[in-house]
Amino acid sequence: MQHIQKKKTIHDEKELFVNTKYYVRFMHDNFDDDNYQNTITKLERRIERFHLYLLKNKSIIFLRLEQNNNGRIIYDEYTEQFNKSEYDYLIELSLLLKTKYDIRFKIIFIGNNSTKYDNDIICIKSDVSLLS
């Protein structure tokens, strides 16, 4: 996998492996030299399995808990990504799934904003800081 670096993402916490292109944080995966190939193989299997599932025209439910950004380190190269809300990114995901795959899906988004249903996204208002 390209673009993998070890970075601190939250003040006062350990460094995580981060995909610097998409700012995907690997909270539980280890890309150190001894584990690198095993981790890559595991992630490739998961990606392939997920892609095959999307092609099977099955129903799927995605669950997203809004991230608490308290203490978040926002590096200059990611500033633009943080200008959009998580909900905006979920709308993009919803549109992508509708145009690229023939699947029935719902996204359940638990966050700080209002409770609503739109674009196959079910928003549930909750005090996310209590869940962190």
Q: Quick check: pTM over 0.85?
A: no
Q: What is the pLDDT of residues 25-79, one digit of tens each?
A: 787 887 777 888 888 899 899 989 999 999 988 899 999 988 777 777 777 877 7
pLDDT of residue 113: 78
- CA dihedral defined by 31, 32, 36, 39, rounded to 10 degrees? -40
Contacts of 128 (CB under 8 A, 6+ apart): 65, 66, 67, 68, 110, 111, 112
121 C-beta neighbours (distance < 10 Å), count: 19
